[in-house]
């Protein structure tokens, strides 16, 4: 099992690394050329700066049984399709049971933004509780046998 992190502006990278190190799991951090990542544990892969370059590279790398950390529902859907498991930085697991609804929510939000009816607020400021919740959920995900 390898953990792949969509690491551009990912707030849980260090938590992923710390937990993965405890379990001796390899971690690959993927970022584009606009971000500078340094790690003493993970492999850092810098890919082109195209709009979906990191997403495409991540999906090309992941395999059945791997874990993907991403906030992008599309990336999560593709990872699930390859038999990987996926988790959001909030700690929410992406599953075959919830991914279609999440993709529909994303689509409806995009439609609303295009119509100029965007009253969507950005995410709340990240807290220690958010980090604790993610770590707990991530630990459960990597210790649970793949289905």
Contact status, residue 88 vs residue 71, Cβ threshold 8 Å: yes
Residue 1 — pLDDT band, cuts 50, 70, 90?
A: very high
Q: Provide the whole-model pTM.
A: 0.87
pLDDT tens, residue by residue, 39-65: 999 999 999 877 789 999 999 999 999
- DSSP-based three-state secondary structure for 62: coil
Which two tokens mark 16? 């992923």
If one compares 99 and 22, the residue with the highest pLDDT of the two is 22
Mean pLDDT of 111-140: 82
Would the pLDDT of 34 be above 70? Answer: yes
pLDDT tens, residue by residue, 10-19: 999 999 999 9
Ordered by where they begin, the domains of the chain are 3-143 (3.40.50)
Task: Give residue 51's pLDDT.
Answer: 75
- How far apart are the C-alpha atoms of 127 and 1, rounded to whole Å? 29
């Amino acid at each position: 099992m390898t953990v792949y992190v969509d690491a551009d502006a990912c707030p849980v990278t260090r938590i992923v690394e710390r937990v993965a190190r405890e379990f001796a799991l390899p971690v690959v951090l993927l970022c584009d050329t606009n971000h500078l990542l340094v790690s003493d544990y993970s492999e850092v892969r810098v890919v082109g700066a195209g709009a979906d370059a990191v997403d495409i590279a991540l999906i090309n790398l992941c395999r059945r049984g791997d874990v993907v950390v991403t906030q992008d529902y599309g990336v999560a859907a593709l990872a699930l399709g390859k038999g990987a498991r996926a988790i959001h930085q909030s700690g929410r697991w992406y599953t075959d049971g919830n991914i279609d609804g999440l993709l529909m929510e994303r689509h409806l939000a995009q439609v609303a933004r295009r119509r100029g009816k965007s009253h969507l607020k950005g995410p709340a400021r990240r807290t220690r509780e958010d980090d604790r919740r993610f770590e707990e959920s991530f630990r459960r995900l990597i210790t649970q046998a793949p289905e």
